[in-house]
Structure 1
Amino acid sequence: MKNILYLILPVVLVLLASCEGKKVDAKTLNGKWEIISVNGEKIKSVENQPYIEFDMSTKKVHGSGGCNIFNSTVTLSDTEASSIKIAPAAATMMACPEMDMESKIFKVLTEVTAVKSTDKPDEVALVNQAGEIVLLLSHSK
C-alpha cells in the first residue's frame, strides 16, 4: 500500500502544480493593463476603469485606481524572471464615490511579488508571496 502512495503522490503534486499559472517574465508586463479584479473581487463597471501601466525600460509604473492616479517604481530580479516588486505608490488624494475598491488596489500593489499566466492569453495575474492572485490584469487594447 505504501508503495502505491509513493507512486501516486508525485503524480498528484505535478497535476496540482500544472493547475497554477505558469511563471511569466515580468518584463512582458510592459504597457497598459486594465485591472479586472482585486483579491478575487471583480471590478464593477465604473466610469474610470482602474489600470496600471508599466515602463520596464525605466522601471516605473503608473496608473489609476479609478479616481486617483498613482506613480511608483518596480524592482526586477536578476535571477528570477517572474519576480517583480512594486514600491509604495505616491497618489493624488481626490475624494470620489467608489473609494473602497481604489483603497484595495493601492493596498495590494506592495504585496505583489511575481507575475503568472492565466487561462486567457490577454490576461496575467500578479501574485503575492503565498502565490495568491492579488491583481488580475487584462491587456488594454
Structure 2
Amino acid sequence: MSKKYFAAAAFACLLMSCGSGKNSVAVVDFSGEWNIVEVNGEKVSAENTPFLGFDNAEHRLYGNAGCNRLMGTFNLDTLNAGKISFGQVGATRMMCPDMEVEQSVLEALNKVAGYEEVGEGVSLNDADGKSLILLQKREVKEVSINDLDGTWQIMTVNGTEIGKTEKTPQLTFDLAEKKVYGNASCNTINGGFSQEEGKSSSLQFTQMISTMMACPDMETERNILDALNKVRSFEVKENGTVSLLGEDGTELLTLKKLVETETEA
C-alpha cells in the first residue's frame, strides 16, 4: 500500500511541476477589447488606435486595423492554453493617408498561432513563439443615446468616403421626440429611432421616409438609405466621430459632429 501511495504522490507531484514550471502558459480571458500597441516589435502610431475585440459567445473578431474596421473569427484552444488562431479576417476598403500600420496588422493576424502574458499585456505569437502583436486591455467608454444629440455629417457609407453631392448628407437627432431628420445627399429624410432595453449602444431607425426629388447622382443616396435600414448599434470613437454598425458589427456609416453654423436646412 505504501508503494502505491508513493507512486500516486510522485505522479501528482509531476503534474504540479508541469503546470507550474517556467514553460507553463496562463489562460487569458480575451473577452472585451484590446488596443494594439506594438506590431512586429514596433510601437504603433496611428490616427485611430488599432484594436481587437473578442466576442467569446460567437467566436467573432472585430476591431480597427488603423484605418479600416476589421472583422473575422477566432479559435481559442481551451484544452491547450496558449493556442489561438484567426480565420476569415477581412477589412473595409476606405483609403487613408498612411496604410502601413493597417497592412502590418492584417498580415500579422494571419500568422498568429499562440499567445502569452507579457507584463501588463498579451503577446500574440507566431508558430515559433515570436511576438507579432502586443495587446493591452482597452478601457471602453460607456456610451448613451445622449452622445448622439445634435447634427452630424455623414462622412462614409460602407467604408467609402462620400464625395461631392447635391447636398451635404446629414442626420439630426431629436432625443426628446426620438426622431431623426436630415438629408441623404439629395432628398430630405425623416423618421424615428429606438433602442433595445438595457443596451445603451443599441440603435435602430424606424419608419424612415424621404422626399422624391431626382438628382444627377442618386447612388450615394440609395447607399445611405440602405445602410440606415441595417443599423443596429453605434460606437463613439476616440476622436469624437460616431460609427453606426450593422448586426454583425460591420461599420455602415461614420458621422462627424457639426457646429450650428455648418448645418443645412
Q: Aligning the two structures, in what range does the TM-score lie when normalised by the shorter sequence?
A: 0.7 to 0.9
In the alignment, which of 240, 249, 252 is matched to residue 134 of structure 1?
252
Which range moved further: 107-116 or 16-25? 16-25
Deviation at 1:109, TM superposition (A): 0.7
Q: How many residues align?
A: 138
Q: 2:253 is paired with a residue of what secondary structure?
A: strand
- How is 1:1-141 mapped onto 2 (pairs within 5 angstroms)? 4=25, 7=27, 10-11=29-30, 14-15=33-34, 16-17=52-53, 20=63, 22=140, 24-121=143-240, 123-141=241-259
Deviates more, 1:89-98 or 1:18-27: 18-27
Runs of 4+ that moved beyond 4 A = 11-14
Q: CA distance change for structure 1 residues 47 and 80 in 2, over 3 Å: closer, same or farther?
A: same
Structure 1 residue 14 displacement after superposition: 4.6
Higher helix share: 1
Q: CA shift at 1:36, angstroms? A: 0.1
- C-alpha separation in 2, matches of 1:56 and 1:14: 29
- State the alpha-carbon separation in 2 of the partners of residues 26 and 12 from structure 1: 24
Quick one: distance in 2 between partners of 1:77 and 1:57? 17
Shift of 1:93: 0.8
Q: 1:26 Cα shift?
A: 2.2
Q: Deviations over 1:38-57 (max 9, x none)?
A: 01010113341100111011
Of structures 1 and 2, the larger Rg is shown by 2
Moved more, 125-134 or 14-23: 14-23
- Distance between the aligned counterparts of 2:244 and 2:165, measured in 1? 22
Question: Are residues 12 and 113 of structure 1, via their aligned partners in 2, closer, same or farther at CA, if it must alter by over 3 Å?
Answer: closer
CA shift digits 1:60-88 (9 cap, x unpaired)? 01110111001101112331111111014
**Unaligned segments of structure 1, at least 5 residues:** none
* TM-score in terms of structure 2 length: 0.47
Aligned-pair identity in percent equals: 29
Counterpart residue identity of residue 177, structure 2:
T
CA contact (8 A) 1:112 1:126 kept: yes
Q: Which residue of 1 aligns with 2:99?
A: none
Residue 101 of structure 1 and its aligned partner are, at CA, apart by 0.5
User: CA–CA distance in 1 between the matches of 2:177 and 2:144?
Assistant: 16
CA shift in 2, pair 1:95/1:117, >3 Å: same
CA RMSD of aligned residues (A): 2.6
Choose 130-139 or 81-90, whichever is displaced more.
81-90
State the alpha-carbon separation in 1 of the partners of residues 33 and 190 from structure 2: 39
Normalising by structure 1, report the TM-score: 0.85
**SS of match in other structure, 2:180:** strand
